[in-house]
Amino acid sequence: MYTVKIANDNDIPRLIEFFRGVYSPSHILTEKKYLDWQYKNAAANIYYPEYPNLLLKKNDQIVGHLGLIPYKFKIKKEIVNAAFLASLIVDKNLRSHGAGVMLVREAEKYFDLLYTTGFNPNSVPVLKYCGWKEELWINRWVYNVGGKRVINNNEALEIKKFNESWNESWKTLKLKREGTIDRNSDYLNWRFVDNPYIRYKIYGLKNNKGYVILRIEKGDEYSACRIVDLISEEANARALFLSAINYAIESKVDFIDFFSFPVIYEKSLRGAGFNIYDPAENPDPPIFLLPINRERLALNFSYKQIKGEDLRASDWLVVKSDGDRDRAY
Amino acid sequence: MEKIKKIAQKVFKVSEGEVTDAMSPETIPDWDSMNYLIFISELEKEFGVQFSISETMEAKNLGDIKNYLRNKGVKF
């Protein structure tokens, strides 16, 4: 007898055992602290105190899992319940038999919008069968740090926490974005400031009208400064990119990258010296640094909208910190 | 069997000779979640039957699916 249920505290020990078997004994999802932060304590967890995770059970045994990171999401003028599909895995004996479809269909009952990035090609038939929008590809902007000097930039300062004044700025900034996570201070503090695994560097514009969030990743072959989120008016974005460049130079990394969809801040990015990266021409550096992964050259993106005014692909704002593509390993 | 063969050939994009009781996700590249569920749905329409979730998930190959059909009274 197969059933799908929402995970609660009692399921977690067995869920961790399941992850040890299907992923690896040391996979990040085997840490309860991580599960609690990413799912249970997520700023927009509509199931709290349960986990926004769906379990496929055969009798009492867990045979499949769908991890959903919940967001308040802005679609045009309304805020809806959305979720990022962070992981989908089923027991190897059930693969290619529709178990993933069963889990995704169940998630569609609870959320108004579902989306995912950087997903495994094995998930494509599942998403396609469930009627998700075809794969789209997120641009990767790259800046080569080698030999560059710190640039004078006094428009942005380091910030430690997002406060109420940010919420005021966001009310105006979000008007220009049709499809985006509602980046209020609750979300930003949960996602970046209170992250138990990663120390982000955050710079905010002095006028409070934008921020950039940076993470250093040091691999064996390369080290990178990753712009995992950036919000501002186009006119102010250049100062934030300069903050990223200066931080990258001080941190002695090889390059900076910024994944964004669609093409936004193009003028500022080009003005600051970034270029769109073409993985077909040169697969280095790999998109996943830790662990190094040379097989996946670009970041894909797919979604299904269940409620709200229709979003076109160009209405979206998607960056690397959406979901779990910017996670600890 | 002819009807099952034709549906399998169309959905999994295989030749007549490749449709055997042993065909499964391991042997047929186009046997993914999507095509499998389409295949099940086509069989349900063709023979006027319904597969349970357990049957759908636990069929290891075409032979298992044929057995389920036989148990539902389908003759081929």
A84: part of which helix (H) or strand (E)?
A: strand A78-90
Q: Rounded to a whole number, what is the distance in angstroms from the first to the last CA of chain A?
A: 35
DSSP characters for A149-198? Answer: ------SEEE-S---HHHHHHHHHHGGG-SEEE---HHHHIIIIIS-SS-
Residues A173 and A88 in one domain: no
Between chain A and chain B, how many beta carbons pairs sit less than 8 Å apart? 43
Cβ pair B56:A97 closer than 8 A: yes
What is the band of A220 on the pLDDT scale with cuts at 50, 70, 90? confident
Total domains in the fold of chain B: 1
Give the CATH number, domain containing residue B34.
1.10.1200.10
Burial class (CB in 10 A: 0-12, 13-18, 19+), B22: exposed
Q: Does the residue B76 lie in any domain?
A: no
Total domains in the fold of chain A: 2
Q: Does the residue B14 lie in any domain?
A: yes
A118: left (phi over 0), alpha (psi -120 to 50) or beta: left
Residues A70 and A157 in one domain: no
Name the residue range of residue A118's domain: 2-132
Do A54 and A6 contact (CB within 8 A), yes or no? yes
Which residue, chain included where needed, has tokens 């569920």? B37
Residues A71 and A108 in one domain: yes
Residues A128 and A143 in one domain: no
Residues A282 and A156 in one domain: yes
Which residue, chain included where needed, has tokens 């004078």? A152
Which residues numbered 37-76 in B keep a CB inside 8 Å of some CB on A? 37-38, 40, 53-54, 56-59
Residues A160 and A259 in one domain: yes
Q: Does the residue A85 lie in any domain?
A: yes
Question: ipTM value of the model?
Answer: 0.86
* pLDDT tens-digit readout, A159-185: 999 999 999 999 999 998 899 999 999
Residues A195 and A58 in one domain: no
Q: Does the residue A110 lie in any domain?
A: yes
| Cis geometry, peptide bond prior to residue A283 (ω within 30 degrees of 0) | no
Cβ pair B53:A102 closer than 8 A: yes
Name the residue range of residue B42's domain: 2-71
* pLDDT tens-digit readout, A229-287: 999 999 999 999 999 999 999 999 999 999 998 788 999 999 999 999 988 888 788 88
Which residue blocks in B1-76 are alpha helix, DSSP H?
2-12, 33-47, 53-58, 62-71
Burial class (CB in 10 A: 0-12, 13-18, 19+), A252: exposed
